Structure 1
């Protein structure tokens, strides 16, 4: 097995290193299939009476041992996949999954008992009967049983029925049990006594004894065939939660009165027992642990066997048990397990709050251990490797302060901090000429990124269509179309209504719907990232408002100015594409995205509130009755609009809380979340028709299908008068068009980059060909909008998030206690094409859409604003600063970070957001409507300030990388560099980190890589984290 194919970086042939638990221990090697860790299901079975007095064995039982099979059964009392579940005999159900606590005294007792009575049996048996027969033989040899009758009764007990509470009916290895007794009857030879002359063959028994024996056996078989015991062999639901290659371990415990001493046996099967119902899951059985004994007041066999079952959940313990040769190896493995265990004293006052504090301490301990082991492994790599690419780094760090160390590692990676003692001479600061060469190489030759992106784009497109029609994807793809249709329809109608009433009446809702549908269809068909959605967004609405305001003030035809602005935007797009500016998208950080999203959220809130407040009249025009009546009607309309808008807001927020709660079944909650916005619109429309019909509230203006006017679908400028500037000078027109075109290009580039980043968050694996998105959005679409008079479109990150949520592939059968996790995304183009077509065809739904009051649209804007701020790290940090520090542990974004650093960084972000909101307010209430389009310049200046100035602030730079992480546009492939000299302990302990000591850049220079950056900065990509918005 090649090392690069080994997930854990361990060479299967190199087994020189073993666990160091403070005492000798077995080597670790083979408890892994290929490169994948074997998942183990552990089950604890307790011997319980099946009938009254079943555990009291009389002479009649010893005369007919088969009857012992009917007197007892093995009851499953606990099970482990990742967490423990105990069977509640009163509630007749398993408890909630939980971490397994143990008493320290039980561990000590188990070690003492193992040293005194323990035995390891490694066998090639492939059936349960033969395996349990070896256990019975050991009991005879070790003196646990004294006679043949006791031996037979013990074997019958071991083969008794297994009762698994979640599997209907009785479960038993009837075939193996029948084969065992048939062989005993036919051959008359007991394998345990085949060498004893006192045991004869069947001919030595009387016919009456044989008939009695056969009669007992027939009764046993007939009992299993009774109708009230339907035969269900396995728990298929639980089996589905286990991955391929999983194995099982069964721990059997109980009290048997005729045993002379405890029987403690660990059976390690070289060949797993398959299709055996000793466990409730249909997976091979690798281990069987038996702990039986005579009645004792000092020992609880069930508790001691549970200790072993709990330890089997530890990967290091399992690896040791797998290689154990004798009982001392098991004891050493237990000692090693206890070295990494935490002891919690039983407090008199135990409550969830105190336990929550303990959980945080455990997390801190785990981080400390992981960093210790990881850096020891890294040091050993450096000291033992002879590769010239690796450098000799001195081991002089204190890894106890894990959070601070991770910050130092991140800072070193981005060359923020430079420690001469920790960096080799080859890592010295690059010269000015090398930086200049690297800068030139990044932007030259022209269009190289575009031509490089054509091949991955061409390779991706066919698979996007094939993947949509795979059997497992059909329901996801076509089931998401309705949800995504409403997600794109609602903003299109809302922005269309605002454009029609506040910018230019020529922007009809039909025009907005048609343009949005066409842009979505074409973009999905040709884009480099088809998971992204495009359309009219808040920045584009601000831009349209600014264009209309500038054209009005300068006495220029707005259509003419839009056309030239679109042409210049396209020219700037060609310039960006030629300079390979798409690489700049890889430097977008979380703070830039959050400032942008915060600005958009505040825009939604303020725009809807200002629009509704404008409906309130200042007063009657005069004192006439008609004027007073008109004033009262306008007040009523304004009040009803505000009321319905807040009803819509509260209704959508309530549905969002229901979706995140535990009311109803998951499918119902998912449907309510998917239809949140349309249900809200339906509610407001019903309220308007029932209670506010006489108010004549403003509604969506869209003609019915029979009165559709094709000319209203386009708003084209007069092509014959493109050079007719009227009273304005050509220099003024083109100067303003260049300024607007440059601003539009920056806005589109930023939104498309954020759109691509968002589309990669749910574990997307296909390449994100960003240059194709730039070609469409910044070069082609602006020209189309300028020529046809359609609204300018850009990347819609919130709608893209909703697309990810709709197309996500979840682990539908997680192990008990493990939440549903994202395992991938259906990366395809079919659903986007259907959504685009349906949105375009919505122009023929005028007879239905005309019933929707504008209050519903304003309420949706409020909802979009509220949900846009929720879950932003900036917003959470501001809330955390308003709380005492002991409550900060509720949020990962502030955990372990100094309060002063959080405060300073939050103040910087707040200042930028305040400037952007102030510009928005100025553009709303003053004649300088164009002031709003300055916001991309402010965001660009902040990004430059973040990359150049803040890292130079030594006090803040130490934690800057944890406060503000970097995004990636493409899937991240982690490569673990672990040498063969690493022990198995070190390899497994670093399972969840990606250690990369050194790497070579494109110029052959050795650069220091950080494993923490791979884990923490890209956590959104790896964990499938999608921020909650109005659409998700």
Structure 2
């Protein structure tokens, strides 16, 4: 146990500091006096010295010594103050801290909202004096609060700071009963209000007003424990004024082993620190502020590390000085100190602050300022292990298998969470809708050679195989728009030259698989490291806009099937009619049904029909009748009802998604609502549609397994339909489709495997592409569509599996922990897709506008989370109203606009290519995006590109950026600037 003590304080101090050795940055064991006030301790920031201060050196030594150790335990800090109660006193909890301060409001019945602690500079000076002049016990071995108090008071007596009477009074005061917020029950409130009950307090037993050495029941039942992470320790701060002391009594105690100190703390947590400050009357406000100051210091991770590791009082003082170095002071006339500052969305990283501190020390010790080469570490990205070439045949594939094999079984039991159920239902409906949509378009493009049933079967088979054996099981494979364009061109070519489409397609598929396997063998997937955010966002924005456009287009075209009666007049209602007329009798609506027999009805059915004006529309058509009248095409409000379902679904999903960050209900209910947002929305609007009773268009699922075109079989034979030379000619168009599949697959893979998503099990780019090649062979022989990674559903899949911290301190935003990596959700989704034929009786009740609304929400969410759209908005915002974004601080506005304009031009070219007959060269344009990005280095400096995009990897680059700024110190990585958030905003685009 270390003991440090001095007397005479609560005045502006003169300090002792460790000095540097005369040699450059050498550490000195000795101490010398330095007559200067506290503010001079921050000499490392002084303009009158070129050397690092003893403060910084001592903290750097301490942090460097424990650099490899784990971070210190989180602390729950509690401030107790002494209050008079009639003829006695008691301790009451007035504030608490985990990250932010919570105060007991006036009346003591509720906690305030968490807020950032604001301190007076004078209170920090006074606190420093308390530590410097008071008693400091480090690593005491006492296990009870009474023993700690006795030991501290005995030391004070030994130093002749107090007498025996003072010791008795101090012990008596410190051992009085401690009242916490949870103890202020209704019974206590009634006691406070009824004087007769107050009078009865005098007859209480002594145990009712004394400190309890054991935790109370209220402590054990406190629900606030849910907010406390495992391993949290407590720090107890006791301040108050008494009438028997002439000067302050201050002690800082650190226990060698944490111990539960009875009812001292609100929660039954083991205590590590105790700070005691008792003083004469008339200074209670000063004592209160000093208590808040030490509590705030203990919530600072750098000081907390110092407090845990300090071996002497001087090190504690150095920690306080380092805190003062980082302190920001607000002018009193420009800000109201009573205003409670809301917690920031992102708390600055203490680890980065520690790194900056150590870096600054090293630069001073090396006798240099900023090193320009350090800036290159910020600019040039580190290439991950997955993207490095092995130089061996199939070396990347073998490395992927070795990387993923240890995680294989965990990919199944990691799915044991209710979140996966929500993900399965959401992705299943998205996959079914996508399969029906693309199946219908494929049927139209290929004369039903590939239709809805083929798309269902192909999605189920290939998806299940891919999820079982791929490298990134979060990937959802599906038919995509670019592949659909190629299928249409291929079918038209076959039709024009009298070729058997499926046989021709089989040989193209075999060539594509050969090219893909060749790319896998040569580790060609390493090229994806050249796909920067410029390429990813351009592709993502294109796919998102395509499906936003298609979702709205489908809703608009519903007016063709369910027309709006714009010219309807309620006064003319008597003029509207519609009757079924028998074709052979003109307008005679009454006939002898026995004279008309059709192949669609029996004699007995027709004999019962005597008046054709009562026949329904469907029965009229069955009997070959015709409808006559100006109201026959009237459809009551179906179109507008569909629009209501469409936009209602869009807004409802968005509302439920953001409900998790709202203030209503408990956090568990908010999270559950957010996880099941899509399912809840579908159920709500299916119910709305059902109760309204209008015949809105519903989801149509095939009810049996059979080929869409009866003229084809389930297996495609390679020979017999086309000339022999077709198998060789097929290699030419296969090159284009290979480029398309490679770009489509790998761009999505790069987005899914970004380091911001905190994936722990690694990527498998080569392994994924290998299985894409194998599945292309399978689907080509079965005449099923080709499948690649679907950007939309894959990213939506990841979004539905985001993990966030459940134990958060009051005021703290939930931390992004990563993605729940497993294979079960994708596997179950594809199995359910294959069995959808048997679920058609249930699925037929889901309105198509609801599903279109889901696609709209996914596309809009994607566009709202990419930097491209934010820079696009900047074109229309005057500079003085633009948000404070990091890249606007470091890049001239004209360069930002130029970068945006280039990206817009690339987007427009991609849109034109996919919409015209030039779609055949669409794959080449995707490849050209990477070339265009490389050419932009002639227009923008690497420094500018490092902020607007990402720098292409260059192992041999020697360029030194001329404009060097201390970005780390000026721009906190966790400030409230949008793009400094390290929690990824998962882009959800629609494929």
Q: TM-score range by the shorter chain?
A: 0.7 to 0.9
Partner Cα separation in structure 1 for residue 847 and residue 958 of structure 2: 63
Are the aligned partners of 1:43 and 1:251 in contact in 2 as well (CA < 8 Å)?
Answer: yes
Between 494-503 and 283-292, report the one with greater CA deviation: 494-503
What residue is the counterpart of 2:77 in the other structure? 42
Q: How does 1:133-212 map to 2 (within 5 A)?
A: 133-140=150-157, 146=163, 148=165, 150-166=166-182
What residue is the counterpart of 1:741 in the other structure? 737
What residue is the counterpart of 1:919 in the other structure? 913
Partner Cα separation in structure 1 for residue 327 and residue 388 of structure 2: 53
Give yes or no for the alignment of 1:250 onto 2:193: no
Cα displacement string for residues 475-508 of structure 1 (whole angstroms, at most 9, x for unaligned residues): 4545643344334333333333444456544544
Structure 1 pair 805/666, CA: closer, same or farther in 2 (3 Å)? farther
What residue is the counterpart of 1:945 in the other structure? 932
Structure 1 residue 458, shift from structure 2 partner: 3.0
Secondary structure in structure 2 of the residue aligned to 1:312: helix
Structure 1 residue 798, shift from structure 2 partner: 3.0
What residue is the counterpart of 1:960 in the other structure? 945
Partner Cα separation in structure 2 for residue 325 and residue 225 of structure 1: 31
Give yes or no for the alignment of 1:775 onto 2:770: yes
Structure 1 pair 529/660, CA: closer, same or farther in 2 (3 Å)? same
Between 795-804 and 742-751, report the one with greater CA deviation: 742-751
Partner Cα separation in structure 2 for residue 761 and residue 333 of structure 1: 33
Q: How does 1:456-855 map to 2 (within 5 A)?
A: 456-468=403-415, 473-478=416-421, 480-500=423-443, 504-614=447-557, 632=633, 644-659=645-660, 661-682=662-683, 685-686=686-687, 689=690, 691=692, 693=694, 698-704=697-703, 708-712=704-708, 716=713, 719-720=716-717, 722-725=719-722, 730=726, 734=730, 737-751=733-747, 753-754=749-750, 756-757=752-753, 761-777=756-772, 779-855=773-849
Partner Cα separation in structure 1 for residue 800 and residue 352 of structure 2: 38
Structure 1 residue 513, shift from structure 2 partner: 2.7
Partner Cα separation in structure 2 for residue 462 and residue 247 of structure 1: 36
Cα displacement string for residues 192-221 of structure 1 (whole angstroms, at most 9, x for unaligned residues): xxxxxxxxxxxxxxxxxxxxxxx9999233
Structure 1 pair 225/367, CA: closer, same or farther in 2 (3 Å)? closer
Cα displacement string for residues 275-313 of structure 1 (whole angstroms, at most 9, x for unaligned residues): 544223444323221111121259632222322222233
Alignment coverage as a number of residue pairs: 852
Cα displacement string for residues 711-762 of structure 1 (whole angstroms, at most 9, x for unaligned residues): 4599657745745348x9849963664255334433443355236426x643
Cα displacement string for residues 88-115 of structure 1 (whole angstroms, at most 9, x for unaligned residues): 2436222222222111233344455666
Partner Cα separation in structure 1 for residue 709 and residue 110 of structure 2: 63
What residue is the counterpart of 2:612 in the other structure? none
State the TM-score, normalizing by the size of structure 1: 0.72
Secondary structure in structure 2 of the residue aligned to 1:450: helix
Structure 1 residue 938, shift from structure 2 partner: 1.2
Secondary structure in structure 2 of the residue aligned to 1:259: coil
Give yes or no for the alignment of 1:260 onto 2:277: no
Secondary structure in structure 2 of the residue aligned to 1:818: coil
Structure 1 residue 1012, shift from structure 2 partner: 8.9
Are the aligned partners of 2:743 and 2:926 in contact in 1 as well (CA < 8 Å)?
Answer: no
Structure 1 pair 570/628, CA: closer, same or farther in 2 (3 Å)? farther
Cα displacement string for residues 350-385 of structure 1 (whole angstroms, at most 9, x for unaligned residues): 5999989x9899989x9998886454355479x5xx
Aligned counterpart in structure 1 of residue 293 of structure 2, from 287, 307, 314: 307
Partner Cα separation in structure 1 for residue 478 and residue 515 of structure 2: 20
Are the aligned partners of 1:539 and 1:747 in contact in 2 as well (CA < 8 Å)?
Answer: no
Give the alignment's Cα RMSD to 1 decimal. 4.9
Secondary structure in structure 1 of the residue aligned to 2:104: strand
Give yes or no for the alignment of 1:871 onto 2:865: yes
Give yes or no for the alignment of 1:932 onto 2:919: yes
Structure 1 pair 828/324, CA: closer, same or farther in 2 (3 Å)? closer
Structure 1 pair 731/483, CA: closer, same or farther in 2 (3 Å)? closer
Are the aligned partners of 2:95 and 2:101 in contact in 1 as well (CA < 8 Å)?
Answer: yes
Secondary structure in structure 1 of the residue aligned to 2:274: strand
Structure 1 residue 647, shift from structure 2 partner: 4.2
Partner Cα separation in structure 2 for residue 96 and residue 961 of structure 1: 39
Are the aligned partners of 2:707 and 2:714 in contact in 1 as well (CA < 8 Å)?
Answer: no
Structure 1 residue 83, shift from structure 2 partner: 2.0
Are the aligned partners of 2:542 and 2:911 in contact in 1 as well (CA < 8 Å)?
Answer: yes
Structure 1 pair 111/457, CA: closer, same or farther in 2 (3 Å)? closer
Secondary structure in structure 2 of the residue aligned to 1:809: strand
Give yes or no for the alignment of 1:1029 onto 2:985: no
Partner Cα separation in structure 2 for residue 292 and residue 643 of structure 1: 68
State the TM-score, normalizing by the size of structure 2: 0.74
Partner Cα separation in structure 2 for residue 411 and residue 702 of structure 1: 52
Secondary structure in structure 2 of the residue aligned to 1:820: coil
Partner Cα separation in structure 1 for residue 635 and residue 491 of structure 2: 27
Structure 1 residue 132, shift from structure 2 partner: 0.7
Structure 1 pair 551/662, CA: closer, same or farther in 2 (3 Å)? farther
Are the aligned partners of 1:521 and 1:833 in contact in 2 as well (CA < 8 Å)?
Answer: yes
Partner Cα separation in structure 2 for residue 361 and residue 668 of structure 1: 23
Are the aligned partners of 2:868 and 2:900 in contact in 1 as well (CA < 8 Å)?
Answer: yes
Cα displacement string for residues 799-854 of structure 1 (whole angstroms, at most 9, x for unaligned residues): 23333344343321122222111234433223332222222211211222234444
What residue is the counterpart of 1:199 in the other structure? none
Provide structure 1 residue ranges, at least 5 long, that are not aligned to the other structure.
1-13, 55-70, 171-214, 384-393, 400-404, 416-439, 923-927, 969-999
Are the aligned partners of 1:463 and 1:828 in contact in 2 as well (CA < 8 Å)?
Answer: yes
Secondary structure in structure 1 of the residue aligned to 2:534: helix
Between 605-614 and 249-258, report the one with greater CA deviation: 605-614
Structure 1 pair 1028/674, CA: closer, same or farther in 2 (3 Å)? farther
Partner Cα separation in structure 1 for residue 290 and residue 720 of structure 2: 92
Structure 1 pair 244/854, CA: closer, same or farther in 2 (3 Å)? closer
Partner Cα separation in structure 1 for residue 371 and residue 68 of structure 2: 35
Structure 1 residue 162, shift from structure 2 partner: 2.0
Secondary structure in structure 2 of the residue aligned to 1:266: strand
What residue is the counterpart of 1:232 in the other structure? 218
Structure 1 pair 342/709, CA: closer, same or farther in 2 (3 Å)? closer
Are the aligned partners of 2:141 and 2:256 in contact in 1 as well (CA < 8 Å)?
Answer: yes
Aligned counterpart in structure 1 of residue 360 of structure 2, from 367, 376, 386: 376
Are the aligned partners of 2:448 and 2:708 in contact in 1 as well (CA < 8 Å)?
Answer: no
What residue is the counterpart of 2:117 in the other structure? 100
Partner Cα separation in structure 2 for residue 524 and residue 830 of structure 1: 8
Structure 1 pair 508/79, CA: closer, same or farther in 2 (3 Å)? same
Q: How does 1:352-367 map to 2 (within 5 A)?
A: none
Partner Cα separation in structure 2 for residue 524 and residue 482 of structure 1: 17
Structure 1 pair 607/345, CA: closer, same or farther in 2 (3 Å)? same
Are the aligned partners of 1:490 and 1:677 in contact in 2 as well (CA < 8 Å)?
Answer: no
Partner Cα separation in structure 1 for residue 158 and residue 101 of structure 2: 35
Secondary structure in structure 1 of the residue aligned to 2:332: coil
Structure 1 pair 713/579, CA: closer, same or farther in 2 (3 Å)? farther
Provide structure 2 residue ranges, at least 5 long, that are not aligned to the other structure.
1-25, 32-40, 44-52, 187-200, 565-576, 579-626
Structure 1 pair 33/272, CA: closer, same or farther in 2 (3 Å)? farther
